[in-house]
Structure 1
Amino acid sequence: MAMTENTTDDEFVCAMSVRDYECDMQGVVNNSVYQNYLEHARHEYLKTRGLDFATLTREGIIVVVVRAEIDYLQPLKSGDSIFVTAKPVLEKRIRLVFNQSIRHSATGREHVRARIVTTAVSERGRPYFPESLNVLL
């Protein structure tokens, strides 16, 4: 799915393309698939910072999404080349927010704008912001 990834000072960018089976009967990307694109970009971003979810989980750091706010602005179609951005900001003391967008590669047109709120929970289910996540900021 991901073709290339790169990072600027401001945001992470992950290039992808829409696959046929991600589209619904109307020929556009199904709404739930956009969340997969957003999540994939966040996972790839963590990897560029030396983190991955499997390792974090083994270390007892469980990162969870607590809110997803998604604005669907324009539909995407099979074969569209896109790039997904991710820019994390610490909100409050324990919430890491990823401001994200999905844009068409050729036109730059924004198709999706999202605000994904995450937190880490301890093995006992208590929210906190572990020091190891500071590399994301």
Structure 2
Amino acid sequence: MSKSIGTEPFTVRLEVRSYELDPQLHVNGAVYQQYADHSRFACVQAAGVSVEQLIGSGLGPVNLETIIKYHHELRGGDLVDVSCTWVWGEGKTYRVEHVLSLPDGTVAAEVSHVSGLLDLNARRLVADPAAQWRKRAEKPELLCLS
């Protein structure tokens, strides 16, 4: 399930699988980042951006920093809603923020990325990543671009 209504962030719902658990029977820390990555990729697809075409044009999205704040454990069989909100500023980087929450609204974790678009030939970040995403998106509002 995915949604984006008005000013609400794009969200996907995932079910915690048994192989994602650590010996204490809660979700392994690395999986929180995978959930955020899944949400971001689903958001990009829903916005109509072809990642294959983006890479084919010589640009690749990169994460430069990831911060995970844990609030409440996730356990096997839990359903988790993973939001995706893009935060744009000036310069070569932008933020993508995710809130992982249980269906009752309990926040399990927050994952925040500082990201950029890498020119794959020059191996440098592009100067205006928002413009590059905007021109490729059929629904730029899902990427918080108007």
Q: TM-score, normalised by structure 2?
A: 0.86
Residue 74 (str. 1) matches residue 79 (str. 2): no
Which residue pairs with 1:84 in the alignment? 82
Instruction: Specify which structure has the higher proportion of strand.
Output: 1
Residue 133 (str. 1) matches residue 123 (str. 2): no
Among 10, 26, 29, which residue is 1:28 paired with?
A: 26
- Deviation readout 1:68-103 (Å, 9 max, x if unpaired): 111011110000011000110113322121121100
Which residue pairs with 2:116 in the alignment? 119
Q: Which runs of 5+ in 1 are unaligned?
A: none
- The secondary structure found in structure 2 opposite 1:57 is helix
Aligned length: 133
Which residue pairs with 1:109 in the alignment? 106
Aligned sequence identity (%): 24
Return the offset for 1:62.
1.0
- Residues 103 and 111 in structure 1, CA contact (< 8 A), matched pair in contact too: yes
- Deviation readout 1:33-86 (Å, 9 max, x if unpaired): 000000000000001111132221111111100011110111100000110001
- Counterpart CA distance in 2 for 1:86 and 1:45 is 7
- Which AA in structure 2 matches 1:31? G
- The secondary structure found in structure 1 opposite 2:58 is coil
Which residue pairs with 1:97 in the alignment? 95
- Counterpart CA distance in 1 for 2:77 and 2:125 is 40
Kindly report the root-mean-square deviation, in angstroms, between the aligned alpha carbons of the 2 structures: 1.2
Q: Which runs of 5+ in 2 are unaligned?
A: 135-139
- Which AA in structure 2 matches 1:34? Y
Q: TM-score, normalised by structure 1?
A: 0.91
- Counterpart CA distance in 2 for 1:62 and 1:9 is 29
- Residues 72 and 107 in structure 2, CA contact (< 8 A), matched pair in contact too: yes
